Amino acid sequence: MIHESVNLPESRLYTFIDGDRRFALYFLEGQKLIHDLALTHNVRGDGFAWFRDVVLSFQPMIGLLKHGEQFGLYIDSEQPFFRLKIEAAHGGATRCALHPEEFSEFPETMHGLVRCQKLFPGNKAPYLSVLKVEGEPLGSIVNRVLDESYQVHSRVQLSVGSDQSTMLHQLPPLKDEYEYSEVALASRRTGLKDRLQELLGKGHTGRDEIVAAFAGIEFRYLADRPVRFACSCSRERVIKSLNSLGEQDRKDLFEPHLDTLETICEYCKATYEIRRGDLAGGGSGPN
């Protein structure tokens, strides 16, 4: 399920490179993506503001994926209590979920686990990283995911006034022709921070104006790709998931006097009606 947005261009992730080919800069123009998430999820106020910041922080990481790869980010916070999921593919398809949907906080810090999963084409074994978080803010969590899970020298910067973000990424040298380190990244980031925030403050949405704006800070355009809210759920996938449960668990899904149940996708809110007979061993109806 995809909600239509009015008068908003399709969100895109742009890739730029500096003249020395030492740093790539990813720019997410995410206004339509955030708008579509707001239409789909009943999260309001400070809760949605935090949801927005998480999506804008992690979404540029699709620039680090190769063709056919996908990543999943799963935050299980105990204090405050919430569960957040972001799943995205190299091509830009993204789906997100936040529970409980009545979550109304903008947590300064959180305590819990952050799981990062990277999926590869050809059914190769996925990569999984688990980080324990004890009283850390969102920015620190993002940095740890980049440093410890992705093991790259990258930093994300959010726009103050628009649904946009950037990620500065140091490219590994082919030889030892320049310093490849967190120190070098920090130095380059410090020099760009104010100029980037000024650029982000203008809220550019058109490709030509975006390319020209980054040329103004000496980054050359390489490519861009659409980033969109999209869900791959289907009735067949729901049935397959339910069939993975044990026999008694499948039976317990149904009310004793009913022969159908209604399931709702946590990502896009699509509704599916499932009959007992759709599930393995479910041929017998209610007594």
CATH no. for residue 125?
3.55.30.10
Is the domain of 187 the same as that of 271? no
- The neighbour count for residue 265, using CB atoms within 10 Å, is 19
pLDDT of residue 73: 96
In whole angstroms, give the CA distance from residue 229 to residue 33: 6
Between vectors from CA 280 to CA 274 and to CA 285, what angle results, nearest 5°? Answer: 60
Q: In the block, which residue shows the tokens 């969100």?
A: 11
pLDDT in tens, 234-249: 989 888 888 888 888 8
Is the domain of 87 the same as that of 17? yes
Bigger pLDDT: 81 vs 279: 81
Contact (Cβ atoms closer than 8 angstroms) between residue 203 and residue 164: yes
pLDDT of residue 228: 93
pTM assigned to the model: 0.88
pLDDT in tens, 37-54: 888 888 888 989 999 999
Is the domain of 35 the same as that of 104? yes
Is the domain of 94 the same as that of 152? yes
Give how many domains the chain has, as a whole number: 2
Domain containing residue 260 = 235-278
Is the domain of 63 the same as that of 165? yes
Among 152, 179, 148, CA closest to 168: 152
